[in-house]
Structure 1
């Protein structure tokens, strides 16, 4: 039972890490586009 719960927590942490990485990449792109727009503007 504990092993099964450990596996679920590992999957949850993996999903969380992946979603955080995706959000960080998206935010970085948004920030770069805003900086680029500010430079152009």
Structure 2
């Protein structure tokens, strides 16, 4: 399987991604995410 290259894109190439309306449920959804910080390499 060949390795796919990663190419930087200009803003004009990806600008359409940002034309969609904002997620109306984001304010509610973000509260469902655990907002506490933790060390991902710490053992508990």
Alignment TM class, shorter chain as reference: under 0.3
TM norm structure 1:
0.23
TM-score by length of 2: 0.22
Relative to total residues, which structure has the larger helix share, 1 or 2? 1
